[in-house]
């Protein structure tokens, strides 16, 4: 624990992450601080250049927490998610003061890369540090209370998450891979990841099978990653992705994130592999397709995906660092 930051503010910057092995489903929570404990282990890559910068400071004279995202004051459910993290910080640090939080996202909403992950990680880093909480595992736990996948954005590079906090596996320079994001839709998704995974757990007959296979797929991914075995990593990633989506499709009402263009991109990736270029795809709670490949192959992958009718744009993402926290003077 560090000293409290009573003067000035704390700035934290965190990158988004995407999951190679998916988190989909929560363990039962008996208390607020047990929110978003994962039912399955996941494996992710934190990305460079896309993320959230958050400034936090105590506002002891305020009546309640005040939170701004990209200049807009939060209210309703988005505010409640932030306050859940702040409440936990106050409880752990035995404090009562409200916070003032200002965040800016650099994640284009079109990319389908979860800005909630970088947002909650930066929030936990900045507000946690105000309260003297700066141990990375503690920050990861705090971020998890806001959004499960955010626990992973506290760490850079390749990250595992299979308990209260995520843990770093390999630094960002472990492996020269790139992720090409094929954007097929900019529309807001109809059902968000939290509601979708809860509906899946409640109603999909495939959910028990999903949970039962998850550890094996995760172990496969971790091993392939350690050995820089792209074929093995792609096999584990695609199995995890397909099973997560199959499980969601089995919900009532069914959850279907795939569009015709998503499927076209998946087939294009399979064709590239048959042509001898090793790469693999994954999708999250939206229709955009993320393709993992060696960095030197990114140009070929971008070209192949860009040719697909309906692919609006391709974005190349690279591995990035973990959270960066600094103390600064308040800008008022
Ligand atoms: C499909 O972390 O957004 O992206 O914990 O309810 O906030 P909550 O869910 P969230 O779920 C992410 C699901 C996913 C897979 C993953 O990132 O592992």
CA 105 to ligand 1 center in whole angstroms? 18
Give the three-state DSSP class for 27: coil
User: H or E element: which one contains 185?
Assistant: none
- Say whether the peptide bond before residue 253 is cis (omega within 30 degrees of 0): yes
Nearest to 210 by CA among 164, 218, 160: 218
DSSP 273-289: HHTT--EEEE--SSS-E
Sheet strands (E) in the chain = 9-21, 42-58, 66-69, 72-73, 99-105, 158-161, 166-170, 177-183, 279-282, 289-294, 313-317, 324-328
Tell me if 194 CB under 6 Å of ligand 1. Answer: yes
Atom 3 in ligand 1: residue holding the nearest Cα: 193
Tell me if 147 CB under 6 Å of ligand 1. Answer: yes
Tell me if 19 CB under 6 Å of ligand 1. Answer: yes
Tell me if 153 CB under 6 Å of ligand 1. Answer: no
Q: In what order do the strands lie in the sheet with 289-294?
A: 279-282, 289-294, 177-183, 313-317
- Rounded to whole angstroms, the Cα distance separating 15 from 54 reads 12
User: From the alpha carbon of 285, which atom of ligand 1 is closest?
Assistant: 1
Tell me if 305 CB under 6 Å of ligand 1. Answer: no
Tell me if 114 CB under 6 Å of ligand 1. Answer: yes
Tell me if 36 CB under 6 Å of ligand 1. Answer: yes
The residue to mutate among 32, 45, 146, 148, having the most atoms of ligand 1 within 8 angstroms of its beta carbon, is: 148
User: From the alpha carbon of 198, which atom of ligand 1 is closest?
Assistant: 6
Question: Cβ distance 162 to 31 under 8 Å?
Answer: no
Question: Cβ distance 117 to 320 under 8 Å?
Answer: no
Tell me if 193 CB under 6 Å of ligand 1. Answer: yes
Tell me if 241 CB under 6 Å of ligand 1. Answer: no
User: From the alpha carbon of 44, which atom of ligand 1 is closest?
Assistant: 18
Going residue by residue through the chain, which has 332 residues, state the pLDDT in tens, using 9 for 90 and above: 789 999 999 999 999 999 999 999 999 999 999 999 999 999 999 999 999 999 999 999 999 999 999 999 999 999 999 999 999 999 999 999 999 999 999 876 656 677 899 999 999 999 999 999 999 999 999 999 999 999 999 999 999 999 999 999 999 999 999 999 999 988 777 899 999 999 999 999 999 999 999 999 999 999 999 999 999 999 999 999 999 999 999 999 999 999 999 999 999 999 999 999 999 999 999 999 999 999 999 999 999 999 999 999 999 999 999 999 999 875 54
């Amino acid at each position: 624990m560090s000293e409290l930051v009573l003067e000035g503010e704390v700035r934290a910057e965190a990158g988004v992450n995407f999951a190679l092995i998916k988190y989909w489903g929560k363990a039962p929570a008996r208390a607020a601080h047990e929110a978003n404990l994962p039912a399955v282990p996941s494996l992710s890559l934190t990305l460079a250049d896309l993320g959230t910068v958050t400034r936090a400071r105590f506002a002891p004279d305020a009546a309640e927490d005040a939170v701004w995202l990209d200049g807009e004051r939060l209210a309703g459910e988005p505010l409640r998610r932030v306050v859940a993290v702040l409440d936990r910080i106050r409880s752990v640090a035995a404090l009562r003061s409200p916070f003032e939080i200002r965040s800016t996202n650099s994640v284009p909403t079109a990319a389908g890369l979860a800005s909630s992950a970088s947002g909650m990680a930066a929030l936990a880093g900045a507000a946690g540090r105000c309260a003297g909480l700066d141990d990375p595992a503690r920050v990861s736990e705090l971020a998890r209370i806001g959004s499960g996948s955010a626990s992973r954005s506290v760490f850079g590079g390749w990250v595992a998450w299979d308990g209260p906090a995520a843990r770093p596996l390999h630094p960002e320079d472990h492996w020269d891979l790139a992720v090409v994001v094929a954007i097929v839709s900019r529309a807001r998704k109809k059902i968000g990841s939290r509601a979708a995974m809860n509906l899946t757990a409640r109603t999909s007959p495939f959910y028990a099978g999903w949970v039962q296979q998850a550890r094996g797929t995760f172990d496969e991914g971790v091993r392939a990653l350690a050995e820089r075995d792209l074929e093995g990593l792609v096999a584990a990633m695609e199995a995890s992705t397909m099973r997560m989506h199959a499980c969601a499709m089995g919900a009532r009402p069914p959850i279907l994130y795939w569009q015709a263009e998503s499927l076209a991109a998946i087939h294009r990736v399979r064709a590239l592999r048959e042509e001898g270029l090793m790469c693999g795809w994954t999708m999250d709670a939206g229709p955009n397709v993320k393709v993992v490949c060696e960095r030197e192959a990114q140009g070929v992958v971008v070209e192949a995906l860009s040719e697909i009718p309906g692919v609006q744009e391709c974005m190349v993402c690279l591995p990035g660092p973990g959270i960066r926290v600094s103390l600064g003077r308040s800008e008022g």
